[in-house]
Amino acid sequence: MNTLISLCTYNERRNIAELIPQLTTLVPTATVLVIDDNSPDGTGKLADELAASDRRVRVLHRPARLGLGTATTAAFDHAVRENFTWLVNLDADFSHNPKYIPQLLAAMEHCDVAIASRYVPGGGVIGWTARRRLMSFLINAWARLLLGLKTHDNSGSFRCYRVALLAQVDWSKSQATGYAIQEEILFRCAQAGARMQEVPFHFEDRRYGSTKINLRECVRAVWVILQLGLQRCFRRTPS
C-alpha cells in the first residue's frame, strides 16, 4: 500500500522545516506532497530544498494564493494520477500532531475515509476560547443538518482517504475554494457511498505563525454549505 501525505501551505516555512522530517521518519514509506501557494516567506523554496535532499518529498508550486479548497483537490488529483492507495491530509502548522497518522491508516481497513475527530470520546481541543469552541460547534451542526452527514467532526482537514474512492468524484466541480472544502469533501464522498470512521485526536494550537481563518471565510463556509444543502434537498447530486 503506497501512501501520499499532503500539506497545503501558505507561509508555513518554520513549521514545515520541523514537520516534514517528522513525517518521513514516522511513515518512512510515504511520499510527502507540499502544495504551496507562492508563499512570500519562502515556504516553497524550503520545500524544494527538502525535496532535493529526499526523493520522498515532492512540491507543487501554484502561482498565487488560490485557496485551501483548490489546493486540497489538487492533492486529490495528484494522488489519483500517481496511483496512490491512501491519501493522508493534515495541516502544516502542527495543530494536527502527526503521531495520529498510524491510527488513521489502521482505520482504513474498515472504511474509505478515516477522520481525525475532536468530537468523539477520547478526542478534544487544547487551548481554545469559548468563542472558538462555539463557532466550531455551530459549523459542524450546520453541516450535519444541511448535508445529512452523520459524522461529528466535519470541519477538520486531518483525514485519510481511499484514493480509489476519490477517483469516483469530479473534484473540478467543487464549489468551495476555502475552508468549506472540508464539509464539501465529506458530502461528496458520502454521495459516492463512502464508509466513514472517526478516530479520536486532540487538536493543538499552531506552533508558528498565525491562523488564516477569519470572519469572511466563516461566512463563505456557511454559504457554500447552504448551497450544497439546497442541492441535496432538490436531489441534485453533485458530480
The per-residue pLDDT for range 127-160, each reduced to its tens digit, is 888 988 998 999 999 999 999 999 999 999 999 9
The reported pLDDT for the residue numbered 108 is 97
The pTM (predicted TM-score) of the whole model is 0.93
The reported pLDDT for the residue numbered 112 is 98
Contacts of 84 (CB under 8 A, 6+ apart): 2, 3, 4, 31, 163
The reported pLDDT for the residue numbered 49 is 98
Mean pLDDT (whole number) for 203-214: 77
Model confidence at 79: pLDDT above 90: yes
Q: Are strands 113-117 and 196-200 parallel, antiparallel or unpaired?
A: parallel
- Average model confidence (pLDDT) across the chain: 93
C-alpha R_g of the chain: 17
Q: Which of 81, 86, 37 is nearest to 59 (CA)?
A: 37
The reported pLDDT for the residue numbered 1 is 65
Cell numbers at 24, concatenated:
518521513
Q: What is the DSSP letter of 94?
A: S
* Predicted confidence (pLDDT) per residue in 11-70, tens digit: 999 999 999 999 999 999 999 999 999 999 999 999 999 999 999 999 999 999 999 999
Contact 104, 110 (CB under 8 A): no
Model confidence at 239: pLDDT above 50: no
- Predicted confidence band of residue 220 (pLDDT cuts 50, 70, 90): confident
The reported pLDDT for the residue numbered 205 is 86
The reported pLDDT for the residue numbered 234 is 82
